[in-house]
Structure 1
Amino acid sequence: MYGDDSFDARGVLAGLAPAELVAVIDAAEESLAGAPLGALSEDGLLDLLESREQARRKGVAVDAALFVEISDRGVYRRAGYNTMHQLLTQGLRLGDCQSKRRRVTAAGIGSFTELTGQRRDPVFPETARAVADGAIGEAHVMVIEEVMDKIPWSVDPAERDRAEVMLAAAARTLSPSGLTMVGNRILAHLDPDGTLADDKDRRRQAKFRLSAQDRQLMSAVQARMTPQLRAEFEVMFTQWAAPGMNNPDDPDSPHGAADQPGLDPAVLAAAAERDTRLLGRRQHDALLALLAWANAQFSSVKPGNLRNQIVVTVTDEDLARQAGIAWTATGTRMPVSDLVKIAADSVPHLAVFSKATGQPLYLGRAHRLASRAQRLAVFARDRGCTAPGCTRPFTQCEMHHMPDWQDGGPTDIDHLGGACGTHNRWNGKQPGDWESTVLTDGPDKGRGGWRPVGRAGPWIVNPLFHPDKLRVGPDVPEAERTPPPTVNHRLGASGPPDSRWSSEVETPTDISIETTAVHLIRGTYRAA
């Protein structure tokens, strides 16, 4: 059928249900993957590439319509999620970035339902038409949304609508980067002097976000500061980032602000002579010193609060050889060599070892709230939220009873697990809810397991905070393999129960922490 221009695909597909159409698309993709592309001419290959990209872009409109329908009807709850974001990031495993692109695209070109039941027009109607035509893709929509978001609210609505029409028209012939240039020109035309932007616009665009750690455990910062925050930063850097101040490479470097009382100017001048750091490094070290000082003040005010102190878990083996990676309660991976530097002037507050704790880890039903010792022990075991796919660190977690407290769950270490606020409320007995337990056998013994209510499949653990414990590969026995996180347990068909898991919780002889030491490092500030 190659080269047959008379083939009418729409006629063949007319009347098929949406699920049948998706099955046809899937079958077509498989057939296309094995098609003899080598038989096509050069012009045929270029035509196929253009047609395929057009079809892919039309799929963006379908994704937006599907997003709208699921969102309006709250279908994500049927899969056990509270928001569309959770369904996309965890259920479909898209991740935060792609989930955001889907949500932003649907918000711009989707026709959502009003409270009155009427469908409203898309926020960006011309953009929606261009996507439906297959002329522009998701990246174009993201650029258009970003430009439109930067237009000050005081601009006349008719001018805003005209800007969207111009952007959609330009997107039909330009790449996303070229469209960005057009958008900047439109913004410059609408507000050439920058006088229309007000405090509301600045607050709307303000952000300070830490990116994920890279392979070198370094983190980038995405920031858009208000004038007030920039002014505060500049004043702080003038004092704390002065040459010679807060230099970690100079043991005689003064710490704190350059104008602090009691600081000898001669000492600062000598330290400045020895200081070879560039401005960026001095500002980094200044911010580090300031935060260490601030955290030390809070840790002394509320010494029992784990959230205002650096809490680290590390194996005793790595700690002894001063190598490897430690985990903080905030989710940061830290080289053990850095941990040793931080703890140089501190005394480890608590160390927990399997079968050698002596801490009150079992409180039965006498108390609903977990003790500080229990929280530290749970952190050592879980490191973060135990819900499948969740990336929330332990400092953003609550103590989750397994089973729930109202169902008789005791406040004992073998019935507790870390869960962020959202997932701590997952448990229930209705379809769409989840049940949880502490596993008592198998390779993940002692860790929290989850599964949707009514599903007979295996308990699901969160592998994100324990990548070192993943057991996969052909050399690992089937019974010991970690269930892969790529399996969509919520949306897939339920299977028979796995004999490796048990919903009956027995009191173990230990707390399944195994050679893990927990060190609570109190914030310290070394005065000049």
Structure 2
Amino acid sequence: MSDDTFDARGVLAGLSPAELVAVSVAVEESLAGAPWGALSEDGLLDLLESRERARRTGVGVDAALLVEISDRGACQRAGYSTVHQLLTQGLRIGEGESRRRRVVAASIGRFTAMTGERLDPKFPATAAAVADGAIGETHVSVIEEVMDKIPSAVDPAERAKAEAMLADAARTLNPGGVLMVGNRILAHLDPDGTLTDDQDRAEQAKFRLCAQDRQLMTAVQARMTPQLRAEFEVVFTGWAAPGMNNPDDPDSPYSAADQPGLDPAVLAAAAERDDRLLGRRQHDALLALLAWANAQFSFAKPDSLRNQIVVTVTDEDLARHAGIAWTTTGTRIPVSDLVTIAANAVPYLAVFAKATGQPLYLGRAHRLASRAQRLTLFARDRGCTAPGCTRPFAQCEMHHMPDWQHGGPTDADHLGGACGTHNRWNGTQPGDWESTVLTDGPDKGRVGWRPAGRAGPWIVNPLFHPDKLRTGPDLPAEDRSPPPTVNHRLGDTDPPGAEPDSESRVERLLGKHLAA
């Protein structure tokens, strides 16, 4: 090592984790203004490679940090019951990114056993490659995906060998190449599919609706078991036949093709007029099937809104057949579609004027909210009121403020929508939250939350009311909407074991080295 080489490890030796993070932040801030133009092309390429290696090594560091937080339940100190809530709400990380980080931590992290000993990583070869800075989190996600598809009947030694092969391939291939290697390994381990049993298929089964896009359209992620596919095929044979369930043809037959009394000539004529492709016909068949099923069970639970189409919309938008309506399940529907639904079904159509409706009061006479109260609260809240929660109103319980056991009344102005998890947030212990219906300010009438015992501002959930979000450089800071999720406890005190003057200590160490 030459005399002018920076001995980073020597300078950083003995620093606490908090001090090392402070150094890392300082380095990143300095790099943001670094004189890149002074470097040669080879120097730039070398730095790019070094940066990527550092980034990949950081994946292992993040995994170790999440494992420690999980083992010690530290997320409760921030007011969250799970690591997922801490990432998605406390750190405002997206659902997909949160899942990726947790998958990586579960794959390469060393968790603590009940006996107190540190366990080996789930994928040891992958963990070693991450520690070397050779592979990143996308590689780890692909390896985990391939390993998850290996049938449970495969010998453990063969599974370990497959993981080592994947980790070795990831050192030289991009994630797409690793996936190709993984598919070849899967084909080798179970060439004819006989090792895959019902349990393996059940673990891989999913049917997930993605978020609505700007056009209010929704993509579907699905991996169907053979049984579900067979059921789909039976439905599509009749309900998606040419001419059936065509919303653009008023004379199109509806329901199944073999329904009693269906005139074959009518179906044949409708099929001649049908210019829909297969994908559209199957979409329309599912729409007709679900509308029929919902009509059969609309009144199965008269006190619940979960099994019915309940929509809130302003009378102004309804009158001009424009705008967007909200359902209790969180779906946004164009008012033009809403009018069609109302004409062909018997849903509860809750139309509220822009003026605030009169609250409904039950006092202490009833603990459970009435249907009228639920409709009123749906129009106001639209979903869970907890900061950052995305659960729609159909998945919410009626949250008393104060709690029922503490004398809270069942009145509309003392109730709010809250999913099962957040309905149990209220308390006075560390990790608990308190809530209230705000009586003044720009968010008057909405539910506010804050960590128990804190005197900070009440936080509302803006996710179901984006039209009311108050932001912009011209708006005074005190009038702006607070962020939808705030980690109130992280960062407001010195980390355990850190010296009060850790930052100045870091500065002294770096200054001493630079001065030398």
TM norm structure 2: 0.92
Q: Which residue of 2 aligns with 1:306?
A: 305
- Name the SS of the counterpart of 1:409 in structure 2: coil
Q: Contact (CA 8 Å) 1:91, 1:490: kept in 2 or not?
A: no
Q: Contact (CA 8 Å) 1:384, 1:392: kept in 2 or not?
A: yes
- Name the SS of the counterpart of 2:333 in structure 1: strand
Evaluate the alpha carbon distance shift between residue 5 and residue 318 of structure 1 in structure 2; reply closer, same or farther with a 3 A threshold. Answer: farther
Evaluate the alpha carbon distance shift between residue 4 and residue 29 of structure 1 in structure 2; reply closer, same or farther with a 3 A threshold. Answer: farther
One-letter code of the match for 2:74? Answer: V
Q: Which residue of 2 aligns with 1:166?
A: 165
One-letter code of the match for 2:102? Answer: R
Deviations 1:11-33 (A, max 9, x none): 00000110010000000000011
- Report deviation, 1:355: 7.0
One-letter code of the match for 1:386? Answer: T
Q: Which shows bigger deviation, 39-48 or 75-84?
A: 75-84
Evaluate the alpha carbon distance shift between residue 377 and residue 333 of structure 1 in structure 2; reply closer, same or farther with a 3 A threshold. Answer: same
One-letter code of the match for 1:313? Answer: T
Q: Contact (CA 8 Å) 1:387, 1:423: kept in 2 or not?
A: yes
Q: Contact (CA 8 Å) 1:378, 1:413: kept in 2 or not?
A: yes
**Counterparts of 1:475 and 1:263, CA distance in 2:** 64
- Name the SS of the counterpart of 2:49 in structure 1: helix
Q: Which residue of 2 aligns with 1:445?
A: 444
Deviations 1:337-371 (A, max 9, x none): 1111111245665544477857x810111111100
Evaluate the alpha carbon distance shift between residue 139 and residue 355 of structure 1 in structure 2; reply closer, same or farther with a 3 A threshold. Answer: closer
Q: Which residue of 2 aligns with 1:395?
A: 394
- Name the SS of the counterpart of 2:30 in structure 1: helix
Deviations 1:92-144 (A, max 9, x none): 11121111111110111001011111111001001001000100000000000
Evaluate the alpha carbon distance shift between residue 482 and residue 357 of structure 1 in structure 2; reply closer, same or farther with a 3 A threshold. Answer: closer
Q: Contact (CA 8 Å) 2:360, 2:411: kept in 1 or not?
A: yes
Q: Which sections of structure 1, spanning at least 5 residues, go unmatched? A: 495-528
- Report deviation, 1:321: 1.3
One-letter code of the match for 1:193? Answer: D
- Report deviation, 1:79: 1.0
Deviations 1:260-281 (A, max 9, x none): 1011111111111111101100
Q: Which residue of 2 aligns with 1:156?
A: 155
Deviations 1:201-249 (A, max 9, x none): 1111011111111111111111111111000000000010011110000
Q: Which residue of 1 aligns with 2:245?
A: 246
**Counterparts of 2:98 and 2:350, CA distance in 1:** 40
**Counterparts of 1:467 and 1:487, CA distance in 2:** 18
Q: Which residue of 1 aligns with 2:408?
A: 409
**Counterparts of 1:489 and 1:463, CA distance in 2:** 18
Q: Contact (CA 8 Å) 1:64, 1:102: kept in 2 or not?
A: yes
Evaluate the alpha carbon distance shift between residue 303 and residue 283 of structure 1 in structure 2; reply closer, same or farther with a 3 A threshold. Answer: same
- Percent identity reads 81
Q: Contact (CA 8 Å) 2:326, 2:332: kept in 1 or not?
A: yes
- 1:385 aligns to 2:384 (yes or no): yes
Deviations 1:286-322 (A, max 9, x none): 0000000000000144444311111111112211111
Q: Which residue of 1 aligns with 2:364?
A: 365
Q: Which residue of 1 aligns with 2:184?
A: 185
**Counterparts of 1:469 and 1:65, CA distance in 2:** 40
Q: Which residue of 2 aligns with 1:227?
A: 226
Q: CA RMSD in A?
A: 1.6
- Report deviation, 1:406: 1.3
Deviations 1:454-506 (A, max 9, x none): 21110010010000001111233444321133654443549xxxxxxxxxxxx
- Name the SS of the counterpart of 1:306 in structure 2: coil
Evaluate the alpha carbon distance shift between residue 139 and residue 333 of structure 1 in structure 2; reply closer, same or farther with a 3 A threshold. Answer: same
**Counterparts of 2:301 and 2:71, CA distance in 1:** 45
Evaluate the alpha carbon distance shift between residue 82 and residue 130 of structure 1 in structure 2; reply closer, same or farther with a 3 A threshold. Answer: same
Deviations 1:398-454 (A, max 9, x none): 000111111111111110000000000000011110000000111111111000012
Q: Which residue of 2 aligns with 1:523?
A: none
Evaluate the alpha carbon distance shift between residue 354 and residue 37 of structure 1 in structure 2; reply closer, same or farther with a 3 A threshold. Answer: closer
One-letter code of the match for 2:199? Answer: K
One-letter code of the match for 1:439? Answer: L
